[in-house]
Amino acid sequence: MRKHGKFIAISAVLVALLSTPIALGAGGGATLQGGARNPSSNASQEYARETEIIANNGTYGTRQSNKSDSGGGAIYGCRSKAGGTPANNEPCIRANNLADGLAFEFETNGALGGTINVAKPGDASKPFTTNATGVATGLNADRVDGKSADEIAKDTLAAAQVLNPFALVAAAGTAAQTRGVPTNGVSRSAAGNYDVVFAGDIASCPLRATVTGTDPGIVTVTPALAADKKTTTVDVRTFDADGTAADHGFHLAAAC
């Protein structure tokens, strides 16, 4: 009987030890169950305290991976309100490096690194904010729509030039300098009578004309849009101060 009693006692201890993980599986301090919902398959049960995993090694404290070609490595969800940590509303994910190294790294073998989506897209929503004011390599205003800052500046200048064509014309009817005027776009047909041809429709653009030189003079302009609407010819007339038609150099500019 003593031998049987000893075996019974040992068996009871083994049963208690083996059944402990199963018995504790529904609450804090339980063994995590792989391939199952923790702490319990009952969706109404959850841990009441943080589950801490503390490591001290030279790689990572934990590692999560998925060998499936369609499944992810990890997903984190929460129901925290707006404001984040400053408002005591902890975000779903927080990486805090207590030293001076990186807090996060993202890397992919694909062409798209990732996405940041918000429930209400538009100008009132922001993908993220930062208190850093330094230039972020590869993510700054020096690159917009695939163009560098220099290219954007050149395009802006070119667009401004298109909207502000001009012609500097000598008294003999030769063009000293032009912008937006085709080659041989300036001609003289009679004393004080010039034609300046601009590329495009500037018939509705304000024109500014000024007589050049030291002699007093008068200048008038009359734009005429070509039938094909591809060019505008400006009839420029210059006169002496007494109103007599005479050759004078002039500057002509359009502000479109």
Give domain status of residue 57, yes or no: no
Residue 18 in 3-state DSSP? helix
Longest dimension (CA), the chain: 144
Query: Is-contact 253 207, C-beta < 8 A?
Result: yes
Q: Would the pTM of this model clear 0.85, i.e. be above it?
A: no
Q: Does 58 reside within a domain?
A: no
Residue 10 backbone class (left: φ over 0; alpha: ψ -120 to 50; beta: rest):
alpha
Residue 117 lies in a domain: no
Query: Domain for residue 151, yes or no?
Result: no
Number of domains, the chain: 1
How far is residue 29's CA from residue 18's CA, in Å, rounded to a whole number?
A: 16
In order along its 256 residues, the chain shows pLDDT tens digits of 555 555 555 554 444 444 444 434 455 677 888 888 888 888 888 888 888 899 999 999 999 999 999 999 999 999 999 999 999 999 999 999 999 999 999 999 999 999 999 999 988 898 888 898 887 787 666 666 667 777 777 777 666 666 789 999 999 999 988 988 988 899 999 999 999 999 888 878 899 999 999 999 999 999 988 887 788 899 999 999 999 999 999 999 998 8
Provide the domain limits for residue 207: 190-256
How far is residue 168's CA from residue 197's CA, in Å, rounded to a whole number? 12
